[in-house]
Amino acid sequence: MTAQLDDDVDAMFQALADRTRRDIVARALVEGLSVSELAAKYDMSFAAVQKHVAVLERAGLVTKQRSGRRQVTRTDLGAIRTVRDLLGDLEIQWRERVERIDALLAAEGDGSAEGDAPDTTTTRPGSSQQRSR
């Protein structure tokens, strides 16, 4: 499973592509906050913050729960995990590809020295190489 329609994923990444919204997610993760409490923390209008919260809610990254006249916003950790796992899947896919190539190279073994099929090489994936830029 983990089907996740593209539109949902679009919305999640889109929502996280704004620093104000990422900050809201982080704050609302620690404790539920009303929209106006959130708005007080940013140098923009209340309506703007309200819109940001709406975007996050539409993306499912945050939930709102009414409490009197307050609308308490809280981050949905499950949704965050979903996004994270999406990226994690790419790493798995990459690792499988490396194993496939390794197996291929091991199986070859003999002397064929041409270089046609695997023009991707040049990068020896054996090492670490994390944390670039």
- Interacting residue ranges for DNA, rule: CB under 7 A: 14, 17-18, 20, 34-37, 39, 44-48, 50-55, 64, 68-72
User: Does 22 interact with a second copy (rule: CB under 8 A)?
Assistant: yes
111: left (phi over 0), alpha (psi -120 to 50) or beta: alpha
User: Does 37 interact with a second copy (rule: CB under 8 A)?
Assistant: no
Task: Give the x-and-dash track for 70-89 against a second copy (CB under 8 A).
Answer: ----xxxxxxxxxxx--xx-
User: Does 124 interact with a second copy (rule: CB under 8 A)?
Assistant: no
Least distance in angstroms from the C-beta of 25 to DNA: 14
Q: 54 vs 92, which CB is nearer to DNA?
A: 54
Q: 38 vs 83, which CB is nearer to a second copy?
A: 83
Least distance in angstroms from the C-beta of 70 to a second copy: 10
* Residues forming a β-bridge with 63: 74
Residue 76's CB: how many other CB atoms inside 10 A?
18
Of 41, 44, 45, 93, the residue at the interface with a second copy (CB under 8 A) is 93
As a whole number of Å, the CA-based R_g of the chain is 22
- Find the length of the chain: 133
How many angstroms separate the CA atoms of 107 and 105, rounded? Answer: 5
* φ, ψ dihedrals at 23, nearest 5°: -65, -40
